[in-house]
Amino acid sequence: MPLLSHWLQQQRNKNILFIFAHPDDEILSSGALLYWCSSHTYNVHVLILTQGEKGINLIPKTTDSLAKIRRKEFEMVMNTLRIKNATLLPFPDGNLISQVKQTTSKIKSYIIKNNIGIIATHNQDGGDGHPDHITVSRVCKELASIHKIALLFSINPLTYKKNSRLGKNQFQLLLSKISKKRQISLLRLYRSQISNHTLTMVMVKQLFVPFEVYQLVDVKKKLTFEYKEFQCKTYTFSPKKETEILPK
């Protein structure tokens, strides 16, 4: 599999935008790429669409709202990476599907204002079927097609062969010892969300699959974004047909 770092170095536009649904998604999905780009000559932008207020809260005895806690955690992560262009938007966690028009408009304005040349985001099925992840992926694909922007879907390295339906343009980003340690240290900053068990699972994955996988999406090709029943500890989602249509 070709190296993503080689492909990135060939791109003239060095403005890369990481767009994810919740604070911590950017590290769980693209921690190594985020670190690599911030360590090289790229103008890194991070846009998180919700404050993750419907997530779990592993911090006991706190009077702060979960949204406030996660906002502070996100700011610490971005400061650690020395990323200045980082924005956390207040769209509703767990209900981005009802805000497609608004999120599309917001991301479109950001892309144009900052001359974005590359977008990295959730893959077609959201990675775990989360409806917010799928909505972000849908909107990014639509905007990448309109504005002729390179689109990278973050693919689970444990299941990337199953995503071959997306095309042949898959790349890997090798994890160095430094990037592995950095990803873990950044995840530790998300104390409200990342348990010791999750950290252990990430470290095991790093050991057996020492790379991240990305799909360079053919933005001219029509993709199907399918929403399914989704349930987690804090809420349940049931899809409705009328909410699966992107605005014209």
Q: pLDDT for 195-222, tens place per residue?
A: 999 999 999 999 999 999 999 999 999 9
Q: Give residue-wise pLDDT tens across range 9-38.
A: 999 999 999 999 999 999 999 999 999 999
Q: How far apart are CA 48 and CA 23, in angstroms?
A: 6
The total of other beta-carbon atoms located within 10 Å of residue 231's CB is 10
Q: Average the pLDDT over 72-85 and give the result.
A: 97
Longest dimension (CA), the chain: 50
Which range is least confidently modeled, 13-17, 115-119, 123-127, 149-153? 123-127
Whether residue 186 has pLDDT greater than 80 = yes
Between 118 and 168, name the one with better pLDDT: 118
Give the pLDDT score at 163: 55
User: How many residues are there in the chain?
Assistant: 248
Give the pLDDT score at 161: 64
Give the pLDDT score at 62: 83
Q: How far apart are CA 61 and CA 207, in angstroms?
A: 35
Pair type for strands 211-216 and 170-174 = antiparallel
Stated pTM of the model: 0.94
Whether residue 132 has pLDDT greater than 90 = yes
Q: What is the DSSP letter of 144?
A: H
Give the pLDDT score at 248: 43
Confidence of residue 234 (pLDDT cuts 50, 70, 90): confident
Confidence of residue 235 (pLDDT cuts 50, 70, 90): confident
* Residue 157 contacts residue 209 (beta carbons within 8 Å): yes
Tell me which CATH code domain 4-219 carries: 3.40.50.10320
CA angle 24, 30, 35 (to 5 degrees): 95
Q: How far apart are CA 58 and CA 146, in angstroms?
A: 41
The two three-digit tokens of residue 226, written as one number = 């399918």
Give the pLDDT score at 232: 86
DSSP character string of 133-144:
HHHHHHHHHHHH
Helix axes 177-189, 196-208, angle to 10 degrees: 160
Average pLDDT score, the chain: 92
Q: Average the pLDDT over 85-99 and give the result.
A: 96
Confidence of residue 242 (pLDDT cuts 50, 70, 90): very low
What are the residues whose beta carbons fall under 8 Å from the beta carbon of 244, sequence distance 6 or more? 225, 226, 227
Q: How far apart are CA 235 and CA 163, in angstroms?
A: 27
CA angle 188, 194, 200 (to 5 degrees): 80
Domain boundaries of the chain, sorted by first residue: 4-219
Q: Average the pLDDT over 127-143 and give the result.
A: 96
Give the pLDDT score at 245: 44
Confidence of residue 63 (pLDDT cuts 50, 70, 90): confident
Give the pLDDT score at 162: 57
Instruction: Provide the β-strand partners of residue 46.
Output: 18, 86
